[in-house]
Structure 1
């Protein structure tokens, strides 16, 4: 890379790119854990670099990406509609399948209306930036997903960020604002790094007290937690108290795309005003059919949610018993804190060599000194899979001095 830089003339705007060498340095050390191509997968196991490993880092929570029924549903509609829509929903890209899915999702989520987006990222970016304008204030949790952050940045609204899940801090910020301005509180329902739930009852109370709207991103919650898999608000029986709930299809619904549900007037406003919706090609028919079939399976096979909860509780308990710090996870997302970045990459590599694939997460995605490996589980993981994962964690944890034989943590990290 140094030779290329020396021989190439480039505009100063690209200097930051040529100066970015960290990725290459980590690759040269043999510890680079990202952009690993999967060569084959049956969902719970994947083939990477010619090696079969247990997948313990996927968001395929219900295990439906390789289900014969979702595959068949996708194949059938391609024969009828082709492979793509070649246009936006606003113009020539609306299929009857899109309308069917919107109707069924609204019914499932017990809301008036639903609008689909081409990705989960666009759902939040496009909805938040549309519904909040220069006369409004957005209150955003500091641990919210990047698509929420971008949505607040694209919006013309004033944005203030409250400390993660800190309701006292949120109250203070709400009290400081002019009571007459429009306000909306935006939060993840399940936080994607920690696996913790937002404090929905307190958020509902504050939203009501300060006349604020409440927007919940349930990407990691719908099809995962709550009554029938309806997400974080349904855990507390408060779905009717949340104005807007977003979700994604790239996790439990085995596809790609996203959606927003809420009152019809609000959804219709976003449908007609959001650039992310109007100027993006619509979801391809195979993706829509996959979601429709996944939604049907979710409702017909409640054992998947039950098994997912059983697995989550078991893995959380056993990882803690081994001595690992798993923060305050409450869901199938279970982080295992390692410490500094290089130690995390080394831990990740040894887990991979032991036959387990997880996700290495380093700052700024997590606080400095709290790099972690993010594990997540599927309803289709077997007991044998789980025990192999735990054995790999035990061996690698002992090797790296993260835990001892007595199930004690050997690293000093505040949770």
Structure 2
């Protein structure tokens, strides 16, 4: 019987390089501060942009749904797992996104995989930004369509790919709205114009823009006033929305097709009532409490300015995702460990998540952070950065 010695050897290599990282256990709710190893620290690594994971309206909605509908659904959506609340939430989500329809998946990852693996065939071409999310990359791997990768946000390279693929039945251009590691924003107006010029479809993954950009957090499509001009919008319910899941928003025909052909949707049990109810409550909060988004951006500007003043390199970030560039993998991890000693939880990100030589500590501020939290965090960054010679 074969053993797993080869896996043990590979893990040992990671340990020797200083890039091995065990899971971090949180001993508290997900807030601006969390408890780790019995100690309260400032949280700068969660995707809880608006603090909705603990919002009273979401918690109340989840509890009421459990009491009324139970803990689970007991089936996939296409057999016996579609409750009225699922359909009602998707209709609400479509109205929020200014699209004809929406369909919820178990995660943002499965939403991307479900779309790309099901709607394209060998007659088609998918054209993807080089720094798109891993779920887009895996979705492309599962399709029989030809693929072209264009240089990151390089419009000339994108146009070249569009020119060279005009014999295909369908060209689908796919981009993140906000890129998750660097925090930069796709040049969506120019991408849409090119796709209209060359008769191509546009798909935007707005995972890190949902709840963050656009009116009431509707995403980059709304931020750039492109409603009705982007064919497929993918988003998440797991980040700023504060709960769990992903969604696809677009025309009715797309929703209908995905229900019948998207394998992650077909073969996964539907979201439990608590999740669906809490997600629905989150949309109400986005509509009723826009000040949360305003506060998120105020905190973002304050923290970015503080890091720049200290001399840190934050790359090309334009959003609450603010990488503190380090370069060397082991140093990034050591920086993260030193920050934790100083009372800040901010994870190091290294290869293969980012290219070699571009290791960083990635930070995300939230609407829940106070100015005092962020001032303390900046002090910790200054101490750790000077201790390690990063600044």
TM range (shorter): over 0.9
Structure 1 position 18, deviation (Å): 3.7
Q: Distance in 2 between matches of 1:392 and 1:140?
A: 38
Partner of 1:50: 38
Q: Distance in 1 between matches of 2:294 and 2:333?
A: 33
Partner of 1:130: 118
Q: Is the 8 A contact 2:45 2:363 kept in 1?
A: yes
Q: Decide whether aligned partners of structure 1 residues 199 and 79 sit closer, same or farther in structure 2, where only a CA change above 3 A counts.
A: same
Q: Would you say 1:186 and 2:178 are equivalent positions?
A: no
Q: Is the 8 A contact 2:183 2:322 kept in 1?
A: yes
Q: Which of the residues 82, 88, 91 maps onto 1:103? A: 91
Q: Which of the residues 296, 301, 321 maps onto 1:308? A: 296
Q: Tell me whether 40-49 or 324-333 shows the greater mean CA deviation.
A: 40-49
Q: Which of the residues 319, 329, 340 maps onto 2:307? A: 319
Partner of 1:372: 360
Structure 1 position 239, deviation (Å): 2.1
Structure 1 position 42, deviation (Å): 5.0
Identify unmatched segments of 5+ residues in structure 2.
none
Q: Distance in 1 between matches of 2:24 and 2:334?
A: 16
Q: Is the 8 A contact 2:90 2:103 kept in 1?
A: yes
> What are the equivalent positions in structure 2 for 1:9-408 lying under 5 Å apart?
9-10=1-2, 16-22=6-12, 25=15, 32-41=20-29, 43-403=31-391
Structure 1 position 25, deviation (Å): 2.3
SS at match of 1:36: coil
Q: Is the 8 A contact 1:117 1:259 kept in 2?
A: yes
Equivalent pairs, count = 391
**CA shift digits 1:144-174 (9 cap, x unpaired):** 1111001000111111111111111111111
Q: Decide whether aligned partners of structure 1 residues 68 and 167 sit closer, same or farther in structure 2, where only a CA change above 3 A counts.
A: same
**TM-score, normalised relative to structure 2:** 0.97
**TM-score, normalised relative to structure 1:** 0.91
Q: Decide whether aligned partners of structure 1 residues 17 and 252 sit closer, same or farther in structure 2, where only a CA change above 3 A counts.
A: same
**CA shift digits 1:283-306 (9 cap, x unpaired):** 111100110111111110010010
Structure 1 position 21, deviation (Å): 2.3
SS at match of 1:86: coil
Q: Distance in 1 between matches of 2:51 and 2:214?
A: 18
Identify unmatched segments of 5+ residues in structure 1.
1-8, 404-415
SS at match of 1:294: helix
Task: Name the Cα RMSD after superposition.
Answer: 1.5
Structure 1 position 314, deviation (Å): 1.5
Structure 1 position 33, deviation (Å): 4.0
Q: Is the 8 A contact 1:179 1:210 kept in 2?
A: no
